[in-house]
Structure 1
């Protein structure tokens, strides 16, 4: 079982209908107990605190945003987000492409929820974790539903590749 988690970032709960802060210690403990592999999106200001709650074997990837919102009186801009991940499957052969620990993808606009992830982020996340169509992915904070929708497309694509001769992965 695999979990992806994109909760309201620390101190930002007021931007969401529930207006409830997330207990990151409980969340990380739960993911460590219930999931073989997980990833957690965070904000750069919260990274040090959240890493202090994580096991020593986590890694940090980055979603770099070439287009992002520039806010008045905020300089430098918040143009990247950390993605903490654990339990990813290692590359098994030289024929498999090596996945970078970062992705460059523009933010989404007008999706109805602050921080909605773009499809490019989702595809990178699945590759980063080494997911296969047999994996069971749980999106613990589904928001717009884009992660689950992209997961279904990704699985179908990977299955179609396994039934054909050749083809390039996403």
Structure 2
């Protein structure tokens, strides 16, 4: 990143988020309060209303922090440093979402010379090494992606389609 002070600001923001939210707390769907009507016909939904419309039956995070880390091609050691920092600083006070879904954008060919690593997906072996590293540190509160999650079908059109 060209933002030299990004990490300093980011780690302070994370400390404050963890301080404000406290330890992770998950609630079963059955335990949630049915104090809000279904808002399926509303233009904008609150988080609770959206959750009422989903079919996911697992637990929902009620409070806490999930840090989503996108692993990028050519940056395996950076990912390890980030994960080490997060685990050594916060331990089980946070959840890590270690993501392998980076998808090269076809329009990036114009920056090929400057950032050639961004024109390819994250190699599966690199992602596995990053996950193994996290587990070797003792990370238990983590979400790990499986399978091929880096597909062009996930790239939005970026043409304002669907927006009013």
Shorter-normalised TM range: 0.3 to 0.5
Higher strand share: 1
TM-score, with structure 2 as normaliser: 0.32
TM-score, with structure 1 as normaliser: 0.31
**Which structure has the greater CA radius of gyration?**
2
Higher helix share: 2
